[in-house]
């Protein structure tokens, strides 16, 4: 298991908490807690070693498309494909944007 900590500038704010995925589902679980500030802090535990560049690329792309909200994102990854990872992350961001 690898532990990755990332931080990105946030360009929008939201409120509330959201959960997507199930930790025992075989892919991933994403928990997001919105917070005031200008940073998205990301804490990833993954079964895929040496994947920091993949996660950086995913968040760079999400930032370019919609911007990133301020808060804390906790990801428990068990080998999800990049497509599934993106869907789960976008799900929690969308849920808090409607709170």
For 33-69, the pLDDT digits (tens) are 999 999 999 999 998 899 999 999 999 999 999 899 9
Show Cβ contacts of residue 50 under 8 Å, excluding neighbours closer than 6 positions: 2
- Asked if the model's pLDDT at residue 26 lies above 80, the reply is no
CA atoms within 13 A on the CB side of 66: 14
Taking the complete model, does pTM exceed 0.85, yes or no? Answer: yes
According to the model, what pLDDT value does residue 90 have? 95
């Amino acid at each position: 298991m690898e532990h990755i900590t990332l931080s990105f500038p946030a360009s929008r704010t939201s409120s509330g908490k959201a959960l997507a995925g199930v930790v025992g589902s075989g892919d991933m679980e994403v928990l997001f807690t919105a917070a005031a500030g200008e940073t998205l802090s990301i804490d990833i535990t993954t079964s895929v070693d040496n994947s920091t560049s993949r996660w950086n690329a995913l968040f760079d792309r999400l930032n370019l498309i919609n911007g990133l909200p301020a808060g804390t994102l906790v990801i428990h990854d068990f080998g999800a494909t990049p497509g599934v990872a993106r869907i789960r992350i976008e799900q929690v961001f969308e849920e808090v944007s409607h709170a």
